[in-house]
């Protein structure tokens, strides 16, 4: 007996001090999800009300029991929203916490609520409803972000700035055109959000544990009551499907990458070396030791949160990759990743919307930088093709020699004399100077989707009609 007591003590020490009562405490700790899935309380109650209403309509439970159930669930909803509901870890999850409280409130009628359903289809329903609502919120936030970019694009359709490739000065563009690039990105993100909503718009309730139910339920009725297009069509897939969560995380990750690229540009643009933008105090901080510093902390944190969101996608993909059909407890690990990503994506979008509306655009700095680095060299090559008749490759070679000459003289292309240019190619005339300014360069890019201010305004009008 003494040896058994010693073994038990050793065993408990091996489990660790936090789990003083041994394996049962470990199991409770690893099994409980109420710490995070209580976020689904409203969806759980909404789904239960729809389920109870359908059961009564089909004669599976009495109308009297239905009324008691609905009244009790609404009471629980009020208690939770008032902060008066006591969640219990011993009851594992949000479903059992609500069901136990319902039994206390209305007695035996509460036991009829779980007729013709399982926690498997119940959690699938709650989670789908939550993700669908979150996607709708993301869609609205992206619409606001796009609107902020459209406003800045319209304001700066004529503001010239350098366009970059490899972070090297390439060709002059307008800041309005640059803003419209992000409109396209976030527009695609919003389209992905809408597609994700369409893909998950099927009701899982009624699939039960995995095989359906023998009760004469009406899944189309509950689907309609809960705002779904239709019920799911295969009960096994229904309870084992988490594509909707993966798709949410995929949408979030791609959107976060776009936000991170914007954040990186804001960080660069706000440096004294660039000076393209000035952030307000609302989206920057000072240094604890260097009084001259103004740090773009909000942009940097958006950039960092992208790694967190991307990690959530990889985590859930890894959870799901080896699961046989149908439901496995592994799938309890789906919600924290989605909840965390949703919270951080919302924050990142809100921060970027605020920064874009709030930042000061330094048009003087942008214009000064737009002409640096021989940014109109391509315009010279194009002029040689159009006006002199040179093949483009020959024009490219001539332009390279002109750039080398300007570099040796320490001047811009437009500052070279006509004699300098004609020494390289005698066919060059003074008309070439019409294309060597940054304003002339951007004005000439009139191809569909180009940087010419008139074209930028066309694209703004197109997007405003659809935003």
How many CA within 13 A on the CB side of residue 164? 10
How far, in Å, CA of 228 to CA of 150, rounded? 33
Picking from 338, 270, 276, the residue whose alpha carbon sits closest to that of residue 303 is: 270
Supply the angle between the helices 119-155 and 41-57 in degrees, to the nearest 10: 130
For the annotated catalytic residues, the residue numbers are: 166, 287
Least reliable range by pLDDT among 186-195, 299-308, 337-346, 432-441: 432-441
pLDDT at 153: 98
Task: Name the helix (H) or strand (E) containing 163.
Answer: strand 160-165
Q: At 324, give phi and psi (nearest 5°).
A: -75, 160
pTM of structure: 0.87
Domains of the chain listed by start with CATH number: 30-113 (1.10.275.10), 119-368 (1.20.200.10), 371-465 (1.10.40.30)
Asked, as a colleague might, if the bond just before 326 is cis with ω within 30 of 0, I would say yes
Give the separation between CA 121 and CA 139, rounded to whole angstroms. 27
Q: What is the CA radius of gyration of the chain?
A: 31
Rounded mean pLDDT of 110-119?
96
Higher per-residue confidence, 88 vs 437: 88
Tell whether the model's pLDDT for residue 167 goes beyond 50.
Answer: yes
The DSSP secondary structure of 272-286, one letter per residue, reads TTT--EE--GGG-B-
pLDDT, mean of residues 56-61: 98
> How many other C-beta atoms can be found within 10 angstroms of the C-beta atom of residue 260?
21
**With bands split at pLDDT 50, 70 and 90, how would you rate the model's confidence at 131?**
very high
End-to-end, the C-alpha distance of the chain in Å comes to 76
Assess whether pLDDT exceeds 90 at residue 432.
Answer: no
Tell me the pLDDT band of 10, cut-offs 50, 70 and 90. Answer: very low
Mean pLDDT of 104-124: 96
pLDDT at 384 over 60: yes
| Separate counts of helices (H) and strands (E) for the chain | 19, 6
**In the predicted structure, residue 363 carries a pLDDT above the cut 90:** yes
Mean of the pLDDT values across residues 387-404?
89
| Closest residue by Cα to residue 332 from 317, 345, 319 | 319
| CA 146 to centroid of chain Cα atoms | 13
Q: How far apart are CA 464 and CA 420, in angstroms?
A: 47
Non-local CB neighbours of 451 within 8 Å, separated by 6+ positions: 163, 172, 173, 174, 177, 442, 445
Residue 18 confidence (pLDDT): 53
User: Mind listing the pLDDT tens digit for each residue in 301-341?
Assistant: 999 999 999 999 999 999 999 999 999 999 988 999 999 99
Q: Where are the beta strands (DSSP E) in 80-176?
A: 160-165, 168-174
* Helices 119-155 + 94-106 axis angle, to 10: 120
Say how far apart CA 297 and CA 270 lie, in whole Å.
Answer: 11
Q: What mean pLDDT comes out for the span 396-402?
A: 90
Cα dihedral value 320, 325, 329, 335, nearest 10: 40
Per-residue model confidence (pLDDT) at position 415: 81
The pLDDT of residue 92 is 87
Of 406, 409, 379, residue with least CA distance to 395: 379
């Amino acid at each position: 007996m003494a040896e058994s007591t010693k073994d038990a003590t050793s065993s408990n020490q091996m489990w660790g001090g936090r789990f003083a009562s041994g394996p049962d405490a470990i199991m409770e700790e690893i099994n409980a999800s109420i710490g995070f899935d209580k976020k689904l309380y409203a969806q759980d109650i909404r789904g239960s009300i729809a389920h109870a209403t359908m059961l009564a309509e089909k004669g599976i439970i009495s109308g009297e029991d239905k009324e008691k159930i609905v009244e009790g669930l609404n009471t629980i909803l009020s208690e939770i929203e008032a902060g008066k509901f006591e969640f219990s870890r011993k009851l594992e999850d949000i479903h059992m916490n609500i069901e136990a409280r319902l039994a206390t409130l209305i007695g035996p009628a509460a036991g009829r609520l779980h007729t013709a359903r399982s926690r498997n289809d119940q959690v699938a329903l709650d989670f789908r409803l939550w993700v669908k609502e979150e996607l709708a919120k993301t869609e609205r936030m992206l619409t606001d972000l796009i609107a902020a970019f459209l406003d800045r694009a319209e304001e700066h359709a004529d503001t010239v700035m350098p366009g970059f490739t490899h972070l090297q000065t390439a060709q002059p563009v307008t800041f309005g055109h640059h803003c419209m690039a992000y409109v396209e990105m976030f527009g695609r993100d919003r389209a992905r959000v809408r597609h994700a909503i369409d893909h998950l718009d099927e009701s899982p309730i009624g699939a039960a544990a995995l095989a359906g139910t023998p009760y004469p339920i009406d899944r189309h009725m509950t689907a309609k009551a809960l705002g779904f297009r239709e019920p799911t069509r295969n009960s096994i897939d229904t309870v084992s499907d988490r594509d909707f969560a993966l798709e949410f995380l995929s949408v979030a990750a791609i959107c976060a990458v776009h936000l991170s690229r914007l954040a990186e540009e804001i960080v660069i643009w706000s440096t004294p070396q660039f000076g393209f933008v000035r952030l307000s105090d609302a989206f920057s901080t000072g240094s604890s030791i260097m009084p001259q510093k103004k740090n773009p902390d909000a942009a940097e944190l958006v950039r960092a949160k992208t790694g967190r969101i991307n990690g959530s996608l990889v985590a859930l993909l890894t959870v799901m990759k080896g699961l046989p059909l149908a439901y496995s407890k592994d799938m309890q690990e789906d919600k924290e990743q989605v909840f965390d990503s949703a919270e951080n994506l919302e924050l990142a979008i809100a921060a970027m919307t605020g920064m874009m509306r709030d930042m000061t655009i330094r048009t003087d700095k942008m214009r000064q930088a737009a002409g640096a680095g021989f940014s109109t060299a391509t315009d010279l090559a194009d002029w040689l093709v159009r006006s002199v008749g040179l093949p483009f490759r020959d024009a490219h070679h001539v332009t390279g020699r002109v750039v080398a000459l300007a570099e040796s003289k320490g001047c811009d292309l437009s500052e070279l004399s006509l004699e300098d240019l004609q020494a390289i190619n005698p066919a060059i005339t003074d008309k070439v100077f019409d294309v060597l300014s940054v304003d002339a360069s951007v004005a000439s890019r009139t191809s569909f989707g180009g940087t010419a201010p008139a074209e930028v305004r066309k694209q703004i009008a197109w997007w405003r009609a659809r935003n």
